Amino acid sequence: MSSSYSHELTTALLAVQRATLLTQRVFHNNAKGTLSKDDASPVTIGDFGAQALIISALRHNFPKDEIVGEEEASPLRENPSLAEQIFTLVEDATLEDGEAEKQLGGGVKDMNAMLGAINAGQSKGGSKGRIWALDPVDGTKGFLRGGQYAVCLALIVDGDVKVGVLGCPNLPIDDAAPISADVGNGEGRGVLFAAVKGEGAMSRPLTKGRISKGKEISMKEVDDITQATFCESVEAAHSSHGDQAEIAKRLGITKQSVRMDSQAKYGSIARGAGDLYLRLPVRKDYQEKIWDHAAGDLIVREAGGEVTDAEGGRLDFGVGRTLKKNKGVVAAPKGVHGRVLEVVKEVLGGQ
């Protein structure tokens, strides 16, 4: 499929794929080098290493683009031994296909280059120009507990998401596999989801070299909403489990929700393994980060779904580093999104 964003898509797919080589190595290591950020959220050597690899590839291919990244390098400048540990992992994360590595600009040259790459994700975002939104390890708590996580990258042009890629190393490759937070034994796992605006969504197996052949994915039509499967975040601090349970009850859904970390939820419903994704605000002042939703939002919409906030407005990725104009996320097949949103408003409006 020819695309006006074919270079961006190929770069994003390869960059995310290479970063998952590093994150999976860290995932299977008991010592993940965890630090706490100012907001007490955890960050691991996987976060720093993946961010360095992806930003290095983006700067090589699109040197004028801005980048909104989750991490910054000051903790590593204060902890040289941790920085050395991460650089060793970054050096070792190499795709097995030489041409693919060349497309990404090769490896990160030295420690200063690594720290510079990590720190190049400080864009303030906004509605003008080309801005990449990067979450190097989305679902860090899931990553730490051995659950689902995702490496997430999206290109936003003038406030509109044009390209989205999710690398989900612990999801089944099989699009028809039932949705589960379980990661199994690693066999038959590792999937790349991707979408370009107006061109549909695809999934393909993660590899260690060149990009594998993709296949189109689409959301499952839901004829009987009482039979729908809905996904929500594991962490109660991220999403109101009580409100979501009440919404499910009013919709007549009796199946247990699937609690899963990261944007793996977006990928799962986009390919029809699940049906609904609800992420309702836990407090009025909470602002979602654009890197937590940009790629998943596009992939679900290109797979035939609808994604809005709890008021029915589209997510606005053009107002900075956060979704400050939106509260909550409601993702569902187009045919039932209106009904789900109606019940969301009933439940939230009664508070």
The residues carrying an active-site annotation are 47, 140
Sequence letter at residue 316: D
End-to-end alpha carbon distance in the chain: 48
- Radius of gyration (C-alpha) of the chain in whole angstroms: 19
Strand-strand pairing, 130-138 and 201-205: unpaired
φ, ψ (nearest 5 deg) of residue 332: -165, 165
Host H or E run for residue 154: strand 150-157
What are 292's two structure tokens? 């937590």
φ, ψ (nearest 5 deg) of residue 340: -60, -45
Which letter does DSSP use for residue 270 in this model? H
Closest CA to 129 of 317, 333, 334, 329: 317
C-alpha 104, offset from chain centre: 20
Closest CA to 131 of 70, 72, 193, 69: 69
φ, ψ (nearest 5 deg) of residue 259: -95, 120
CA 235 vs CA 41, 171, 254, 259: distances in Å: 12, 19, 21, 9
Helix axes 45-61, 111-118, angle to 10 degrees: 90
